[in-house]
Structures are given as C-alpha cells and as structure tokens.
Structure 1
Amino acid sequence: MKILITGATGLIGRALIAQWQDQHQLHILSRNAAKARQILAIDASYYQSVDDIDVNQLDAVVNLAGEPIADKRWTESQKQKICQSRWQLTEALAQKIQHCTTPPKVLINGSAIGFYGRQGSQVVTEEHSSFYPEFSHDICARWENLAQRAASAHTRVCLLRTGIVLSSKGGALSKMLPLFKLGLGGPIGDGQHMMSWIHLDDMVRLIDFLLHRDDLSGPFNATAPRPVSNKQFSQLLAERFGKKAPLTVPAFMLRLAFGEMSDLLLFGQNVQPKRLLDSGFQFHYPQLKEALNALQF
C-alpha cells in the first residue's frame, strides 16, 4: 500500500515506520523533510508541504502530527501552537481528500483520551457523551471534527483516542524514569486519579488493525483494557526497578511549576477500548505489570 504518514519522527510514528517500512510504500510529510530523512534513514518519499503531495496516488493517510502537549507550560502562545499544529494540517489533508478523484481508502487520525476531559473513576467508552469542558477536550474535539470532513463513501475515518503510550524510547515514561530508578518516585496528589495507558507495540498493532479493517470507522479508544490509579501505576513502575514509591508530589507544587498544564497530571480517565475489543482486537499487553516488564530500560 501507498501510505502517507505525518508525525513520522514522533514516538508512535517511528515505531509504525519500523513495522511498515518493508511492507508498504511510505510517504513522509514533515515540517523539515531533510531532518526527517536524516532521523528516519529509510527509503521513502519525503515532503515538506501538503501541496506537494498527490493524494490521488495514496491508499491511506495516517495523521499523527502535533506539538507535544505536555512539554511546556501552557502559555497562550503555547496553546496556539498545540492547537494549530494539529488543526491546520488536518484541515488541509481533509480538503485534499475531499477534492480527490480517487481518494485514499482510509484516514487514520490522531486524537487523545483528553477528548473526554477529566472523568474521575467512571468507566468511559467511545459511547460516552458527557465531556468536561477544558483545554484538552477543546483540542481533540475540533481535531476530530476536522478529520471527519474527509469521510465519504470512498474514505473511512478512524480516530485514535490515545492514552499514555509506554515505551523505553521516549514519551511520558522518559520523564518519570530518572526519579523512579533512584527510588524517589511516587504518586501525584492523592494518587486516586485513573491512568489509561497502552504499550507502544499494541499501539502500532491497532493502527495496522484499523488500516486493514474496511468495516471500521469512527472513534477508537487506543488504551489497554486495564487502566490503573496513579498510585498503582507508581507502585508498579517502582517495582520494575526493585524500588518503592514512598514520596508523594503535592498537587500545589505541580500547579506552581506547570500552571494549567498540571491538570493533565492531576486528573484522569478510566477508559475502556470497547470498540476495539468488540471488533476482535487482542492486546498483547492488557496488564500494566507485564507491559512494564516487557520494556527494555
């Protein structure tokens, strides 16, 4: 298949390319095509602008691009960068697909469980219709709406509402590991908020699953079926290194350090991947302990 990937140099993108590079003809769209070519070091077609791509020649588009949401304090300018890096590209891709004579069969588009906003311990599936009005929801809701504009009788759209992606090569864990390896990690706040996560290998597998399932479209919770509390997550991560998790990070310290962005760390969702499970997808790592043990640190 001829597949366009955006966000190819990110954590999920790199893993996806490692899986697909010998199976498909890959096209890479990046803000810096030369840098992407250097980082990925694979034989592919590289583009720096949507305008340079003939979408009629593509079988699929996987749109994962976006400014990292938790890397910096949410100033107004950073919020704009987070939003526009997702919205502008997605709108441009959707328009290109709309005007195709032979459009791609599928657009697999990024999103996040932040779509639901904070939900406490309530179980959340794709059918959930009550959303907490906060920044993470606003980002994802418009992101998904823009992607859905590409949907037609010829192009199905799948939306990846992704949780915390576990990998030894980057992502959220890379920020946690130094303290936990030293035995200085621990829960955040009261530790009761839920964390919905997924092993990187399962993330890649479910994207491939959706690529080939012509009968599937709409939102999919890209999370393992066994979410845990932040306290449980901290304990299991500490155990992975033969340590304990004795320390607690007070909520007020996070708010002082990160402002509004600390809400991502202090609140969570108890997300279930109902549509994936109902469709027959099987997770290799449904349990957090096994997922952490499988990572090579």
Structure 2
Amino acid sequence: MNIAITGGTGLVGRALTRQLQQHGHDVTILTRGESKTEDGITYVQYLQDGASPEDHLQHIDGFVNLAGVSLNSGRWTEETKTAIYESRIDATEEVLRIIRHMEKPPHVLINASAVGIYPPSKVKEYTEQETALSDDFLGTTVRHWEATANKASDYGVRVAMARFGVILHKDAQSLQLMALPYKLGVGGRIGSGQQWLSWVHVDDVARAIYFAIEQEEIVGPFNVVSPRPMTMQAFGATLAQVLTSPHWLPVPEFALKLALGEKSTLVVDGQFVQPDVLQKHGFRFQYEDAKRALQQIFH
C-alpha cells in the first residue's frame, strides 16, 4: 500500500511511518515545506500557494490525517484556540479537496480525534456508542473535526476516527509536564487525583492506526486508549515509582486553573474510556499496563 499522511513529522506520524515501513508499505507525507524524497519517504507540498498535491497522490491507497496545532501549544488564549481549531479543519478540508480531484479515491481515511469529545466524568464509562458528547472548547473542536472528515464518505471512502487518549512517549509534552515535578523530587497528586486518565503508549497508537487501515469493518469512531485507564492519583504514584521519586506534594486544582487557565481541563478533568471497537475486532495492545509503558519510555 501507499499511505499519505498529514502531520507525518509529528509524534504519532513518525511512529506510524516506522510501522508502515516495517511492513513494507510506501509512505507519502504532506508537508508545508518543499517536495522531496528522503530516507525512502516521499514528501509532497500542500497548503501553500501554487501547490497541487493531488497531482502526486493519484496512486495512494489510504489517507491518515493527523495535522493540527498541538493542544499543548501554550496557554489557551483566544488566538491559540483559533489556531488549534482552524489548523484541524483547514487540513481536513484540504484532504477532502484532494480526494475530490483524484481519479480513484483512496480506500480509507483515518482521521485523528480525541477522547476529549466525551464529557468529563469521574463515574461514567465511555465507549464509542456514547451519544452525549462534550460541548466545551475541546469537545466542540473534535466534533467539528470528525464531522468534516466524515464528508469523505460521500466519495466512497471508508472513514474512521481515531479518538486518542493521552499519548505516552518520552517526547510527548503532556508526559514531560507530568514527569518534571517527579524528576525534581516534588511530584504529587494533581487536583483531586480522582479524575480519570485514559492513556496509550505511542507504539500502540501507531499499531492501532495500521490495524484500522487494514480492517475494512472499522468505520466511524474507535477509541485509541489502553483498556486499563487509571486515576491521576494512581498514575502519579506509578510514575513516581518508575522514576524512583517521592509522590508527596499535591498540586491543588485552583492552582492549576490559575496557572493554565482553560487549558487546565487537560489535567484536572478526565474520562474513563474503553477501546471497545479495537478489542471487538481482535486488536491486542502491547502496553496495557501503565507501569510497563512508563518503564519502556524512561528506561
């Protein structure tokens, strides 16, 4: 297969590229930079004046759309929120435009999404069947993102939305922020500690996307999270154990909201999410256990 990826140079894009190449597939990455071929990867310019990526993508079998400004890009000012929202919608609209100009549309579009589409809850368990979706900034962004991507189905493309949990990798900003206090010896409970953290190792993210590309029965949303979510208290204690650091200094919720503003929702709120679709189709996680995932990352 030849798979085209937007956001291919990001954390997930790099892991997915390795996964695809290891299985003998060709990778084309859409980039704002110059078109080129490097290390067996074809880079095609898009979202730039004069660029016509469709001329170079007539042969692709699938699209994976990961493009978007990081949720961790500073405090969520109105300007930052606009960039987070528009970067996702604009890239997805460009993917749709490319598909419209293809003589033969790709078989599948895997579009990134997030478990932030589910309302925060300390008691509810969410699967892909959930219909009560969040209407806060993150939830609204993700709902509009999915709705835009789903328009590809009008052209006969199978569309599946990968709802990512908190992705664990040594370079992931979210994990770096959580780990830093422990590395300084001042880590502890974040907020109440009872909020849920639905996490996933980046290697399982790449494997899950590849799995969804191959599994023609996967249509619509599929949660990309470990089947063993943890409370923030339990995750912090596990992180402390892996980093051989004390878990003792609580960070109160009001302090996080003061420091991070609206962005604090990423750590003080949470959802208990299960990967029902992946598991029902036979996917097996390499990292179900958070301690094992963190040990792999840090050691």
**Considering the TM-score relative to the shorter chain, is it more than 0.5?**
yes
Contact 1:94 1:149 in 2 (8 A): yes
**Of 180-189 and 104-113, the range deviating more from structure 2:** 180-189
Pairing 1:226-265 to 2, within 5 Å after superposition: 226-265=228-267
Q: Which amino acid aligns with 1:107?
A: L
* Residue equivalent to 1:142: 144
Deviation, 1:118, is 1.4
Query: Is there any run of 5+ residues in structure 1 with no aligned partner, and where?
Result: none
Tell me how far apart the structure 1 counterparts of residues 100 and 150 of structure 2 sit (CA, whole Å): 11
* TM-score, normalisation: structure 1: 0.93
Contact 1:227 1:270 in 2 (8 A): yes
* Residue equivalent to 2:30: 29
Tell me how far apart the structure 2 counterparts of residues 101 and 68 of structure 1 sit (CA, whole Å): 33
SS at match of 1:21: helix
* Residue equivalent to 2:39: 42
Deviation, 1:167, is 1.1
Of 88, 108, 126, the match for 2:90: 88
Q: Which amino acid aligns with 1:42?
A: D
Deviation, 1:181, is 2.2
* Residue equivalent to 2:209: 207
* Residue equivalent to 2:161: 159
* Residue equivalent to 2:177: 175
Between the two proteins, what is the percent identity of the paired residues?
A: 39
Query: Is there any run of 5+ residues in structure 2 with no aligned partner, and where?
Result: none
Tell me how far apart the structure 1 counterparts of residues 170 and 200 of structure 2 sit (CA, whole Å): 13
Tell me how far apart the structure 1 counterparts of residues 149 and 61 of structure 2 sit (CA, whole Å): 16
Q: Which amino acid aligns with 1:245?
A: H
* Residue equivalent to 2:278: 276
* Residue equivalent to 2:116: 114
Q: Indicate yes or no: 2:3 matched with 1:6.
A: no
Contact 2:54 2:101 in 1 (8 A): no
Tell me how far apart the structure 1 counterparts of residues 141 and 250 of structure 2 sit (CA, whole Å): 30
Contact 1:184 1:246 in 2 (8 A): yes
Contact 1:4 1:61 in 2 (8 A): yes
State the superposition RMSD in angstroms: 1.8
Distance 1:33 1:255, change over 3 A: farther
**Of 109-118 and 148-157, the range deviating more from structure 2:** 148-157
Deviation, 1:117, is 2.9
**Of 285-294 and 137-146, the range deviating more from structure 2:** 285-294
* Residue equivalent to 2:198: 196
How many residues matched? 293
Deviation, 1:195, is 0.2
* Residue equivalent to 1:291: 293
* Residue equivalent to 2:15: 15
Distance 1:19 1:171, change over 3 A: farther
SS at match of 1:109: strand
Tell me how far apart the structure 2 counterparts of residues 89 and 182 of structure 1 sit (CA, whole Å): 39
Q: Indicate yes or no: 2:49 matched with 1:52.
A: no
Tell me how far apart the structure 2 counterparts of residues 153 and 93 of structure 1 sit (CA, whole Å): 12
Tell me how far apart the structure 2 counterparts of residues 6 and 31 of structure 1 sit (CA, whole Å): 10
Task: Output one character per residue of 1:233-255: Cα deviation in whole Å (capped at 9) or x when no partner.
Answer: 10000000122210111111111
Tell me how far apart the structure 1 counterparts of residues 292 and 19 of structure 2 sit (CA, whole Å): 22
Moved over 3 A (4+): none
